[in-house]
Structure formats: structure tokens, C-alpha cells
A and B are shown apart, each in its own frame.
Chain A
Amino acid sequence: MRKKQTASDLALLGGAPVFDEVRSTSNLVRPDIEQFLAYSKMFFDQHRYTHDGPLVEIMEQRLAEFHGTPFCIAFCSGFWALVLTMKCLALAGKNEVVMPSFTYRRMADLAAWVGLTPHYCEIDATSLAMTAELAAACIGPRTALLMGVHPIVNTCDVEGLERLSAQSGIPLLFDSVESTYETYRGKKIGAFGRAECFSMHASKLVNGFEAGYVTTRDPELAAQLRRMREFGFVAPDHVETLGMNAKLNEIHAAMALAGLDDLEQQVSRNRLRYRAYQQAFAAIPGVRLLEFDERERTSYKTIVVELNADWPLSRATTLSLLHAEKILARPYYSPPLHHKKTSYPTIFADLPITDALAERFMLMPCGHFVTEDDIAQLAELMRFIGAHAAQIEKGVL
């Protein structure tokens, strides 16, 4: 690392950046090329590049086993997997979907594609997720669906939300994009609620270029989703339901399979990175590393820190400083959805906890391109920034 002596050594203030190459928060894990090509050979030899090809089928079986669910249905992306599943599960004649505001930036748009109105729910300050109690306050006569969204670190109140769904009769769908590998009370994520949705975008735990899937225990839902991803066909020349093209192609499935082959090793590498973060970030004043719950299985993938009251700079300034150093840290789900202008109606009450936490969390570099040494340098930089806050403020202004 180019040693920073004074605030003016910071890249934002004219110094040389810490890194020559960008360090990002995207996982971008690279599976073994030979493995990927070996899978590719299977569809290549059969001349089947999409449309119920051999690899999509193998991938679905493998993921169903992985999650311990009878059914897995592959899609072209997590986005359309969620849209189609929302469409299937929303109660007829009702139009509101309960979801946290502190979540994925397109979550409200997802609901809007199926004509549902987002009803934003408050989050619990510790888990950064919606709890059953908070969700219950948002349920009304028009509620069609509960979206249980797992936060980036650890899981949400699965049991409470399942109980709430059972009591209220409102279907529960989990957005488990950030929890592919996790367990809840020892049981694999994937078999909860009516269904769970996952993404295999290159930035996620399993890199399938672009891909997504749904797991469910419900055979009818599985059959319906399979039909809907292919225009609603139940037989040749026979469409029975509204569908679209949400098929996954075989190359992306080959990539995902090679990624699954490497998954346990990847988690071990992620664990080492996380341990490095734990060690390096243990004593930086004002910075708290969000801890993985190691009583459960976890992927150790995404690293989140909180800038608390002792941190002397705003998150925006901190991010600008880091970006100048080629550290592409990102704000955690910012802004929360209830602060965004939309072309469709949304519903929300005061969300004081969400508002209070909205400017506090950052995603730190993680994944394939980040070494333990990088993490030590990151910590040193954060410590330096913290210690030189006053000069930085002057320099930035």
C-alpha cells in the first residue's frame, strides 16, 4: 500500500489511489473453465441451446437437492423468477404486497409488473429485516402477498412470518437472493413459505452469468411456473395461462453447474476473507462489522459495515473517499424504497427505524478479486480516514 501520511495523500484530495484495479462488492466468482466446458459439451453435442435442454434439467435437480425441496424451476433471471412467482401466489381480488422498504432497489418495480401495490414495512434494527410483528401491522383487507426478504447478512424472521402467513391466510414468498447457502435454525433456506426465489447473477454466490430459480414444495405451483416461463404452454399448440419467455439458456446453466461444483471451496475462501475482516476491522472506532451467525450455515459472502455515531464522517463522504481509492464500496439499500419516486402508487406509514438506519451501512469489497492483504489495507485506510476526518472535511469542502 502506498502509505498515506497526510489527508492530501488521499486519492480524493489528489493523492495516488490505494489500488490500481477496482475492488468491488460483486462476488464475480470464476468457476473452473474446464468444468464449465465439460458441461457445455453436453448441450453442444445434443444441439440443444435452450428450451428444456439437458443442463437446465440437471441444474434444477441439483438445486432442489441442495435446498432440500422437491421442486426447483430455473429462470432467465431472479427478477423474472420473482415476478412470475408473485403473479402465481398473490391472492385474487387483492392488490397489496407487504415488503420492507429497506431492500433491493427494484423490489417495488417487481410488484408493479404484476399490478401489486407495495406496502412498505418497517424493519427490525438488529436483523435489518421485516419481522412478523412489523409485517402484521401492514396487513389489511387488500393484502395479497407477504414478501419475506432475507437481509444481506443472516436471515429474517422465517418462523414468525410463516406463523403470520398461516394465521392470516396470506401467502408468504421469500426473496432469498442473499441467502442461497444459509440455514434457518439448522434447516436449509429454500423450503420455507410457499416458495423462495434466488438469483445467479454474476455478482451472487453462484455465478450463472444471468440466471435465477425458484424452490417450492408445492407441485402445482411448480407446474404453473414451468408453464409460465414458456408462454403458458401445457402441450404443443395449447396455451392455458398467461406466460412469457423466462427460460434459462444452456450456457448459463453450464456456468451455474460449474459454480455449484466449486461452492464449498468458495465458501471456505469467503470464510478466510471474513476472518480477515473480523481481525482487521475489530478496533476501528466508529466502524462495526456485521457478524455472520456462525451457529447457522452461512456463505460469508457479502461484507457489511455500520458507520455508527463515533464515525466522524458522513457515509456519502466516506464512500467518495473510498471510490477515489478504487474501492467500490456501496451504500446498503440506499435510498430506502419509500423515498423513491415511482410511477405507481405505494403505501407506507412512518418508518423511523428505516430512516434512522438508511445512511449508516456500507457494503465492502468482497468476493473473487479481494485478497486478505487487500482487506488489511482497507482497514488501514479506514483507520486513517477516521483519524484525519477534520482535515478531510476541510479538503473536501
Chain B
Amino acid sequence: MTYTKHTPLDFALLGGPPMLDKLLPVGQLYFPSWDRYDAAMRGIFERQYYTNHGPLAQQFEARLADFFQVKHAICVTNGTLGLIMAVKALGLQGRVIVPAMTSIACAQALTWAGVQPVFCDADPDTYQMSLEHVHMLLEREAGICAILGVNLWGGSCDPQALERLAERFGVEVYFDSAHAFACTIAGHPLGRFGRLEVFSFHQSNLLSTTEGGCITTNDDALAARLRNIRSSYGAGPAVEVPLTSNGRFSEAQAAIGLLNLESCAEALSNNRASFEQYQLLLQAIPGIELLTARGVEQTNYQHLVCEIDETLFGMSRDALLAVLKAENIDAQRLYYPGIHRSAPYVDECATALPQTDRLCGRLIQLPIGALASTEKIAQIGAVIAAAQRHAGALATSNKAVL
């Protein structure tokens, strides 16, 4: 079967039939089979233990600690709450360096926990946070107490280099590793860098518990504080913390996590195959470049990110986005327009972040994961190739749309 759009009018944007019948999202969306779900839930109903650090949550935490090769894996309601709790457990006060090109959750977590973000730019080569800029901020800015390193898109921001910088300047360093499950550096999975790392098990990531996350650390005292901030159940011994919350992880979340952990290698190899398929499909198309994960030995391929060169491709990233959405391909911009240009931070942030601004205008995320079958990826590739071929005609036939 071929999926060619022969003329501009074949595009859904201009009235043709959409390539896909149903909207295809970008997230990973791995989930157990119905039978396994059914059995796991019946188990919970039999035990009648629903939350408050139940047997499945304990088991999942133990499995995760093994997987990450760390002493403590502390499961939380979601990754954002993990990031909020981290600030309180670390006792941070003052300003924290965080990239502007990442999920706004990173900055919001700082705000909720009472510290101020200082935004750093992206690196022009790796597209991860710029260590050079972090260095500059540490030298120039007053009141910096920590660096929140972010490992984006199955790559890493070079946590070891950030650890060295943090040590040199006497500040704390911890990581948002929401995208980094199963990624490795120096033969080990990410999870043991800085004071702690926060992972997300949101449905969009490789390991999903629908919503969820965990905090990894080798620091016993820090782990005790995190457990106390999360809630009194499963907290172990009571230790003094500035504030408590509800960051609990239910048995239902744990059940999904345990099942998805079992089939994680399978999901990862599916991701790899999809990535390789995209590579073949996109390599011949001028003006679109598929990014490879940087700063890791092994990636989880969970984010399929491409950069659009408008001149070579013939249309802008946003124009391509409109074309794809009309075809029921729910491609996304990545962190557009950057946290430094979003409320409420835009009012306080006068700094120009040229790389972030440039990339926020050029990057596009395409579907990869449980729902992006070989056939659908072939269809996506065909739409992109046709869009590039017909870029000029598409632009003239519908200037208003594009």
C-alpha cells in the first residue's frame, strides 16, 4: 500500500481525506493487556489494600531500587509533586538554575516550593541544557543554591559534569529525569546522580503508571525526609521536615508499574525499531533532521524529535504541524515558547536565551510508542515527504491556513 498525497488538494488541510482515521497521540502509552490488568485489579480487591504504601507499592519500590541500582526509590503521585517535594527535602532556599527549554513543571515545582528559577539556555550542539551557560550563571548570579539538571528526551545533560560544577561552586545539584527511564551512562542506568533524581511514570513515558513517578537517591537521611514529606504511611521513622503533603502512590498505580516494568524491554525494543523506521523514512527528506539522544550510552527512544529547517524543507515547523494535525497525526511543538516566555516567569525574566528561542521555533515531536504501529509510521513518513514536496503549492493554495 502506498500513502502518497499526489496533489496539494489530497492533503486533509485542504479538504482531502485525513491519512489516519483517528487522532494518533505522541505519548508512549504502553499499558498491560486487558487480561493482566483484570488479574492485577482482582488481586487488589482480594487484598483490600488500596493505598498508603501497600504491598504492591513496596514491591514496586524495591524493584525500582534494583533497577536503578540505588538504595532508595520513593514512589510519588506524579513527577511534578516529586520535584516539589525534592526542594523541601533538600532544604533549598534562594535561586535554582533550571533550563528554560523543558517542561514548565520544572519551574512551577520550584515556585510551589518557595525558591526562584534562574533560566539557562540550551546547548547549540546537544540541545540539552548548556553547561557553559550554567557555569556563567554560577559565576555571575547571586543567591544560587542549586542546579536542577534536566535530562531531556532519552538523552542526558551530562550529570557528571554538572556534579563537578556544583561541587566547585558549593551548590546542590539534583535532576529531573522524567524522560530518562532505562537510559544509561558508563554502564549504569541514570538514577544515581546528584543528591537525587526524579522520574516520571506519566503515560507519555516509557514506564507508565498512568500518572506517577519516583525519586531515587543513595542518601538515607534525604530518603527519610522525602518519605515523611510524602505522607506518614510508609514513611518509616518520623524525621523533621518543613512541610508534609500527600504524594502517595496507590496500589493501582503500583500494579500497572509492576506489569509495565516486566514488559519494559519489549517496549524499548519496539521504540528502537520505530526510531530506525523513522530514520529510514526521514533521511531522504530535505530540511528535516531526526535528533539522536545525546549524552547517554543507551537511550529509551521515547521521544521522537525532529528539527525543521524552514528554508530547506520549504515550510515552517508550524506549517508542518498544521498539515500533520489535519491528517490526525497529533505532532507537538516542544516546550514552545520556552518557560522564560510563559506566565508568570516572563514578567521576571529579562534574559534572552537565543538557543532556546531558536529551538522552540524549529523542533517537532512525532508519535512513537504503543499506538504508533509500523504502518502508521510509514503513513506519517509519507505525509511529511509529500508536505515537503508540495510545500510551495500548499503554501500558495492556502496561505490563510499556513
A residues lining the B interface (CB < 8 Å): 28, 30, 33, 36-37, 40-41, 44, 47, 49-51, 76-80, 106, 109, 112-113, 115, 201-202, 207, 209-210, 231-232, 236-237, 239-245, 247-252, 255, 343-344, 368-369
Distance in angstroms from A216 CB to nearest chain B CB is: 21
Decide if B17 is an interface residue (CB 8 Å cutoff): no
Name which residue of chain A comes closest to B255, CB basis. A251
Given A113-B112, A202-B51, A251-B252: A50 and B202 interface contact (C-beta under 8 Å) = yes
Q: Is the CB of A209 within 8 A of B252?
A: yes
Q: Is the CB of B333 within 8 A of A207?
A: no
Q: Is the CB of B246 within 8 A of A50?
A: no
Q: Is the CB of A79 within 8 A of B337?
A: no
Name which residue of chain A comes closest to B209, CB basis. A249
**Measured CA separation A255–B251 after assembly (Å):** 12
Query: Which residues of chain A are near B251, meaning CB under 8 Å?
Result: 209
Residues of B41-55 whose CB lies within 8 A of A:
41-42, 45, 48, 50-52
Selected contact of B242 from candidates A36, A80, A343, CB within 8 Å: A343
B residues lining the A interface (CB < 8 Å): 29, 31, 34, 37-38, 41-42, 45, 48, 50-52, 77-81, 84, 103-105, 108-109, 111-112, 114, 202-203, 208, 210-211, 242-246, 248, 250-253, 256, 332-333, 336-337, 342-344, 370-371
Q: Is the CB of B243 within 8 A of A112?
A: yes
Q: Is the CB of A37 within 8 A of B41?
A: yes
Selected contact of A242 from candidates B108, B370, B371, CB within 8 Å: B108
Given A40-B41, A210-B246, A343-B243: A247 and B78 interface contact (C-beta under 8 Å) = yes
Interface of B is mostly: loop
Query: Which residues of chain A are near B203, meaning CB under 8 Å?
Result: 49-51
Q: Is the CB of A30 within 8 A of B48?
A: yes
Known interface pairs A209-B253, A231-B80, A241-B344; 8 further A-B residue pairs with C-beta atoms within 8 A, sorted by A's residue number? A36-B41, A106-B244, A106-B245, A113-B245, A201-B51, A202-B52, A245-B105, A249-B210
Selected contact of B105 from candidates A77, A231, A236, A237, CB within 8 Å: A231
Distance in angstroms from A200 CB to nearest chain B CB is: 11
A-B CB contact pairs (8 Å), 9 listed: A113-B245, A210-B246, A232-B104, A232-B108, A239-B343, A244-B80, A248-B211, A249-B253, A343-B243
Q: Is the CB of B202 within 8 A of A255?
A: no
Query: Which residues of chain B are near A112, meaning CB under 8 Å?
Result: 243
Query: Which residues of chain B are near A30, meaning CB under 8 Å?
Result: 45, 48
**Measured CA separation A282–B343 after assembly (Å):** 60
Distance in angstroms from B107 CB to nearest chain A CB is: 9
**Measured CA separation A79–B111 after assembly (Å):** 18
**Measured CA separation A210–B254 after assembly (Å):** 12
Selected contact of B250 from candidates A210, A236, A242, A250, CB within 8 Å: A210
**Measured CA separation A210–B370 after assembly (Å):** 27
Q: Is the CB of A33 within 8 A of B105?
A: no
Query: Which residues of chain A are near B245, meaning CB under 8 Å?
Result: 79-80, 106, 109, 113
Query: Which residues of chain A are near B256, meaning CB under 8 Å?
Result: 251
Q: Is the CB of B252 within 8 A of A244?
A: no
**Measured CA separation A245–B114 after assembly (Å):** 17
Given A50-B202, A113-B243, A240-B343: A44 and B80 interface contact (C-beta under 8 Å) = no
**Measured CA separation A33–B45 after assembly (Å):** 7
**Measured CA separation A44–B252 after assembly (Å):** 14
Distance in angstroms from A132 CB to nearest chain B CB is: 30
**Measured CA separation A141–B288 after assembly (Å):** 60
Interface of A is mostly: loop
Q: Is the CB of B48 within 8 A of A245?
A: no
Q: Is the CB of A244 within 8 A of B344?
A: no
**Measured CA separation A239–B244 after assembly (Å):** 27
Distance in angstroms from B293 CB to nearest chain A CB is: 23
**Measured CA separation A79–B78 after assembly (Å):** 14
Q: Is the CB of B50 within 8 A of A79?
A: no
The 7 closest A-B pairs by CB, nearest first: A79-B246, A202-B50, A245-B80, A209-B250, A249-B210, A49-B210, A343-B242
Distance in angstroms from B364 CB to nearest chain A CB is: 12
Selected contact of B371 from candidates A47, A241, A250, A344, CB within 8 Å: A47
Q: Is the CB of B104 within 8 A of A76?
A: no
Selected contact of A239 from candidates B80, B104, B246, CB within 8 Å: B104
Query: Which residues of chain B are near A37, meaning CB under 8 Å?
Result: 38, 41
**Measured CA separation A36–B45 after assembly (Å):** 10
Distance in angstroms from A270 CB to nearest chain B CB is: 17
Query: Which residues of chain A are near B250, meaning CB under 8 Å?
Result: 209-210, 252
Query: Which residues of chain B are near A344, meaning CB under 8 Å?
Result: 242-243
Distance in angstroms from A84 CB to nearest chain B CB is: 10
Query: Which residues of chain B are near A33, meaning CB under 8 Å?
Result: 41-42, 45
Query: Which residues of chain B are near A245, meaning CB under 8 Å?
Result: 78-81, 105, 202, 211
**Measured CA separation A231–B106 after assembly (Å):** 10
Q: Is the CB of A76 within 8 A of B77?
A: yes
Q: Is the CB of B111 within 8 A of A242?
A: yes
Query: Which residues of chain B are near A231, meaning CB under 8 Å?
Result: 80, 103-105, 108
Distance in angstroms from B93 CB to nearest chain A CB is: 12
**Measured CA separation A40–B50 after assembly (Å):** 16
Name which residue of chain B comes closest to A202, CB basis. B50
Distance in angstroms from A202 CB to nearest chain B CB is: 4
**Measured CA separation A51–B252 after assembly (Å):** 17
Query: Which residues of chain B are near A242, meaning CB under 8 Å?
Result: 108, 111-112, 343-344
Q: Is the CB of B244 within 8 A of A209?
A: no
**Measured CA separation A201–B342 after assembly (Å):** 34
Q: Is the CB of A209 within 8 A of B78?
A: no
Name which residue of chain A comes closest to B107, CB basis. A242
**Measured CA separation A239–B80 after assembly (Å):** 16
Name which residue of chain A comes closest to B337, CB basis. A237
Name which residue of chain B comes closest to A228, CB basis. B108
Query: Which residues of chain A are near B211, meaning CB under 8 Å?
Result: 50, 76, 245, 247-249
Distance in angstroms from B188 CB to nearest chain A CB is: 28
Q: Is the CB of A232 within 8 A of B343?
A: yes
Distance in angstroms from B302 CB to nearest chain A CB is: 16
Distance in angstroms from B282 CB to nearest chain A CB is: 23
Query: Which residues of chain B are near A49, meaning CB under 8 Å?
Result: 29, 31, 203, 208, 210
**Measured CA separation A30–B242 after assembly (Å):** 35
Selected contact of B252 from candidates A106, A115, A255, A369, CB within 8 Å: A255
Name which residue of chain B comes closest to A207, CB basis. B50
Query: Which residues of chain B are near A51, meaning CB under 8 Å?
Result: 203
Distance in angstroms from A243 CB to nearest chain B CB is: 6
Given A37-B41, A77-B248: A250 and B210 interface contact (C-beta under 8 Å) = yes
**Measured CA separation A44–B109 after assembly (Å):** 30
Query: Which residues of chain A are near B111, meaning CB under 8 Å?
Result: 242
**Measured CA separation A367–B8 after assembly (Å):** 65
Given A50-B211, A76-B211, A210-B246: A40 and B108 interface contact (C-beta under 8 Å) = no
